[in-house]
Amino acid sequence: MVGKYDGPNDDSAVYFVCISPVALKKPRELTWVTGVVLAVLTASFGVTGYSLPRDQIGYWAVKIVTGVPEAIPVIGSSVVELLRGSASVGQSTLTRFYSLHTFVLPLLTSVFMLMHFPMIRKQGISGPL
């Protein structure tokens, strides 16, 4: 039925349409790339903001998220230490995530929005798939 919300299926369809390579057709390649970067930045806001209350849920979320790069051969442990600020999750991790959440991510998001929106205005929204 058209217009009826179907839960996760509709959500997946929206994500597929947003990241679909069909949207990559000329002349919208750069618009698509900036949109994907904005999506990653938005997810990063969630990850960095999750740690700020400094509770058990935030601690374990940060421990898991920052532990993911450890699977990268050779440089994984260095990337984890760079993210955490030390070998384990601690005050330096909170400081880094706070700085990212309140300064770096808003600045990057503003820059990419200032690039993305004029491109959409000039080229319009992509046509039918």
The C-alpha atoms of residue 118 and residue 116 are separated, in whole angstroms, by 6
The C-alpha atoms of residue 64 and residue 97 are separated, in whole angstroms, by 14
In this predicted model, what pLDDT tens digit does every residue of 58-115 receive, in sequence order? 899 999 999 999 999 999 999 999 999 988 999 999 999 999 999 999 999 999 999 9
Tokens 């993911």 label which residue? 68
The C-alpha atoms of residue 110 and residue 125 are separated, in whole angstroms, by 20
Ordered domains of the chain (ranges, CATH): 28-123 (1.20.810.10)
Say how many Å lie between the first and final Cα of the chain, rounded: 20
